[in-house]
Amino acid sequence: MAKKYLIETYGCQMNIHDSERMAGLLEQAGYESTADDMDADVIVINTCSVREKAEEKLFTRLGEIQHRGIKSGSRPVVAVTGCVAQQEGSRILQRSSAVDVVIGTQNIKRLPMLVDDAVQHHSTTSRRGAVLELDPLEDVSFPLGIAKRHDPHKAFVTIIEGCNEFCAFCVVPYTRGKERMRGAAEIVGDAENAVADGAKEIQLLGQIVNHYKAPDDPSCDFAALLERLDAIEGLQRIRFASPHPRHVTPRMIDSMRRLPKVCRHLHLPVQSGSTSTLRAMRRRHTRAEYLELVARLREAMPDIALSTDIIVGFPGETPADFEETLSLAEAVRYHSMFSFKYSPRPNTLALKRMFDDVSEEEKTRRIVELQALQKRIQGELFAASIGRVEPVLIDSRSRRREWELSGRTSGNTVVNLSGDPVWIGQVLPVRITEANPNSLRGEAVTAFMKAEI
C-alpha cells in the first residue's frame, strides 16, 4: 500500500508554492496525500521565520507529534523544511527526537530521497540528518508539471529565489540565500502549463520580483517578462509579489500600463514613512522618493490600487518618525495594508547592532493607531466604489452557502456575491452594491443577460 504524506505550511506565498512543489515531488515518488495527520506516514512541516517566534510554534507541533508516538508506539517520519529549518539546522534534531530530517530552503528537490531513506531507517536514530547547504550558484530550475497546485484558477510561478538587499530587520537573505533568477523560457513554460491545466491567473513570486533579469536572455528584464507572459493565450490575469520601490523602472510602469492582463494593483512595501527610519532599516529609498514613485504610478494608471507592508517600533523609531508613517499612509491612501510590530530576527543587522528600544506597549499603541487610520481610509475607498462595474475573477464559493461566491477585482479587493457555482474560474462584470470593512459586495451584471438569452 502506498505511504501517505501530509504537508503543514506556515508563512508566505513562496512557502505555499514550495509546499506545492514538495507535494508534487512526493507523489511522483509514489506517496499519496492525506488530510489526516493520524493517517500520515510522513509529515513535512514547512516553516516560516520572518516574524514572531516561529521556532516555538514548530516545537509545540513537534511535541504533539512526539506525544502521539509515545501513546501509540509509532510516530510518522517527520521532515522539517523552510526558513526555520535553514536557520536552526541540526539544533532542531538535538531539541526534538520527533524529527528525522531537516531540509534547507535550497534542498527541497532532495526531499523524496531523504524521506525514503528516513522511512527505511525509521527505527534507527543514527540516520537522522540535516541538509542545509546554501549555494550561491544553485540552479533554481524546477521540472515543469510536477508542482501540485492547490488552487485550480490561480497559479504561483516562481521567478526569483533569495534576496541580496539585506534590509536591517529581515531574516530572508539568511534563510533563502543569495538572489538567483529562473530562466525566462522556463517561467513562460511553467505559466503555459498552469494555463493548460485551467489557471486563469498567474502570480509571479520572488523576494524582489522587479529585479528580474533572465539568465538565459540578457534582453529580458521584468518589464519584458511581463510582456511575454501577457501573450499567453487563455491567461486572463497576471499579478506579482513583491516589488521593491527602488527597482521600479519607467519600463516596468509602462508595461503595467499597456498590458491588458497585468492587474491594476501593486503591493509596494514602504516599511516606514520616515526617511531616518528608512535609512536605519537600510531600505535605500527616502520618503520623498517613495511618494514621487506613487505619483508617477498614479499618473500612468489613475485607477491603480496600492497596498503595502509597514513595520512599527523599529529600533530608534521616535514618536515623530511614527507620525511620518501615519502621514505617509494618509497621503498614499492604500487599498490594503499589512502592519507588523518589529521583532528582532536572528543574524540581522538590527539584532546585532541596534537596541530594540521601543517598548511592547508603545509598539501596540502605534500599530493600533495605524490600523485605525487604515480602516478609515479603506472604508472611504471601498465606499467610493459602490455603483461601479468591475471585472471580478470568481475564485471560490462559501463553505456555508452554496450560492454564495467570492472573487477579486483587478485591484485585488475581495468581492462577495450570490451566483451560480459554474461561474467559478470566470472573470465577470460585477456591479458593486455594498462596502464592508474588508470586502465589497456586488451582483454579477451578466447573470441577468444570461437568463434572458
**Residue 166's binding partner, choosing from ligand SF4, ligand 5AD, none, with beta-carbon cut-off 5 to 8 A by kind?**
ligand SF4
How many binding residues for ligand 5AD (CB under 6 A)?
Answer: 12
Which secondary-structure segment (H or E) carries 442? strand 440-444
Decide: 69 and 75 in contact? Cβ < 8 Å: yes
With respect to ligand 5AD, which residue has the nearer C-beta, 243 or 442?
243
Say whether residue 362 binds ligand 5AD (CB under 6 A): no
The site string for ligand SF4 over 113-152 (x = CB under 6 A, - otherwise) reads ----------------------------------------
Best CA proximity match to 18, nearest among 147, 141, 140: 147
**60 contacts: CB under 8 Å, gap ≥ 6:** none
Of 62, 118, 163, 209, the one binding ligand SF4 by CB under 6 A: 163
Q: Which of ligand 5AD, ligand SF4, none sits in contact with 208, Cβ below 5 to 8 A by type? A: ligand SF4
In which region does residue 198 sit, left (phi positive, over 0), alpha (psi from -120 to 50) or beta (all else)?
A: left
- Distance separating alpha carbons of residues 198 and 155, to the nearest angstrom: 9
Q: How far is the CB of 320 from ligand 5AD (least distance, A)?
A: 20
What's the Cα-to-Cα distance from 388 to each of 54, 246, 432, rounded to whole Å?
42, 33, 6
Task: State the minimum distance, in angstroms, from the CB of residue 171 to ligand SF4.
Answer: 8
Cell of 46: 514547512
Per CB under 6 A, the list member of 33, 52, 166, 303 interacting with ligand SF4 is: 166
Q: Which does 412 bind (CB under 5 to 8 A by kind): ligand SF4, ligand 5AD, none?
A: none
Q: Quick one: what does residue 342 bind among ligand 5AD, ligand SF4, none, with the CB cut-off 5 to 8 Å set by partner type?
A: ligand 5AD
| Residue (of 394, 453, 384) closest to 425 by Cα position | 394
Residue 169, interface with ligand 5AD (CB under 6 A)? Answer: yes
Asked whether 308 and 347 are in contact (CB, 8 A), the reply is no
Using only C-alpha atoms, the chain has a radius of gyration, in whole angstroms, of 23
- Cell numbers placing 399: 463553505
| One of 26, 50, 111, 232 touching ligand 5AD (CB under 6 A) | 50
Selection from 117, 119, 67 nearest residue 97 by Cα = 67
Residue selected from 76, 82, 173, 206 as contacting ligand SF4 according to rule CB under 6 A: 173
240 binding ligand 5AD? (CB under 6 A): no
Q: Cell for 19? A: 509546499
Stretch that binds ligand SF4, among 146-154, 160-168, 403-411, 439-447 (CB under 6 A): 160-168
**Is 207 one of the binding residues for ligand SF4 (CB under 6 A)?**
yes
Q: Is 170 in the site for ligand SF4 (CB under 6 A)?
A: yes
Look at residue 165 and give the partner it binds from ligand SF4, ligand 5AD, none, a contact being a CB closer than 5 to 8 Å depending on partner kind. ligand SF4
DSSP string of 140-209, one letter each residue = ----TT-S--S-SSEEEEE-EES-----TT--HHHHT-S-EEPPHHHHHHHHHHHHHTT-SEEEEE-TTG
Binding site for ligand SF4 (CB under 6 A): 163, 165-167, 170, 172-173, 207-208, 244
Binding site for ligand 5AD (CB under 6 A): 50-51, 169-170, 269, 271, 309, 311, 340, 342-343, 345
